[in-house]
Amino acid sequence: MSYEQKDGDIIIFKNEEATGNQPPYTGKGLFNGEVIKIALWVKEGKKGKFFAGRIQSEQPTEQPTETGDDLPF
């Protein structure tokens, strides 16, 4: 039986190949029907270790394309 990710769920894996500034933990989540990428780093704070992370949309952002059709001349 395979795992089916539901809205609000995240899946995190240890990144065994992380080097330099790459995140030691990565994964994906599903939020409001959109797949997001997750990166986590282990940081040291006044109260001990904690996770700090970044999320971003897995969907590529649309870049405007230049076409000759809408030129005013």
pLDDT in tens, 6-47: 999 999 999 999 999 999 999 999 999 999 999 999 999 999
Distance CA 21, CA 25 (A): 12
Where along the chain do its domains lie? 10-58
- Quote the pLDDT of residue 46: 96
Reported as type and span, the H/E element at residue 51 is strand 48-57
Sorted by sequence, the CB contacts under 8 Å of residue 5 that are 6+ apart come out as 11, 28, 29, 30
pTM here is 0.72
